[in-house]
Amino acid sequence: MNENTPEIFEAEAMQHINDLYRTALRLTRSRIDADDLVQETYYMQAWKSFDQYEPGTNCRAWLYKILFNKYDHHRRKMITRSKYLTEADDLVFELSPGTESVPETLTDREVIEALNALPEHYRSVVLLADVHEFDYKEVAEILQIPIGTVMSRLSRARARLRLSLAQTAVSYGISPNTLKALPAEAF
């Protein structure tokens, strides 16, 4: 019988809540949905199954695995409901005239937009590997995919980010040759 207490849960798990929220926000692109996802991760799943957790193991990876499982469940459920509304919203956005001025330098906003533009399966791997610095094995365990898939998705995601951000950088006057010289990890 495991003797995990609320104090152990607070000490082991609660320290990661801000990181999980930021990841949930990147995944859902909605503060309300991110709040719901983190609440479900912590209180509906992690706390309920905390008796199965072994103190001293990688609590952070355990929580991320729960987060991504919850996200996948909700994403699959919402796909059918929101498909037509999303397509209509995207069409309205694409047809709207842009009035924003071009900034002097590349900002976090452009990087975040490039990350948000990635397909979900690429974005998840980038968030875990490059933003939260999980190693490939941990990413594979969290997402429940083979390590080779993690590496190929990460490579493809970085290539897409490089292309997306390179086009933005060139529009700011940065030489394409400078961008080619940067390693993939810089993106």
Q: Are 85 and 92 in contact (CB under 8 A)?
A: no
Domain 1-99: state its class. Answer: mainly alpha
35 C-beta neighbours (distance < 10 Å), count:
14
Least confident of 6-15, 19-28, 170-179: 170-179
- The tens digit of pLDDT for each residue in 27-41 reads 888 899 999 999 999
Give the containing element (helix H, strand E) for 59.
Answer: helix 59-95
Reported as half-sphere exposure (CB side, CA atoms, 13 A), residue 160 has a value of: 18
- Per-residue pLDDT, 80: 58
**pLDDT-derived band of residue 184, with 50, 70 and 90 as boundaries?**
low
The model's pTM is 0.59
- Per-residue pLDDT, 53: 84
Sketch the domain layout of the chain as residue ranges: 1-99, 103-187
Q: Would you identify the CATH topology of the domain 103-187?
A: Arc Repressor Mutant, subunit A (1.10.10)
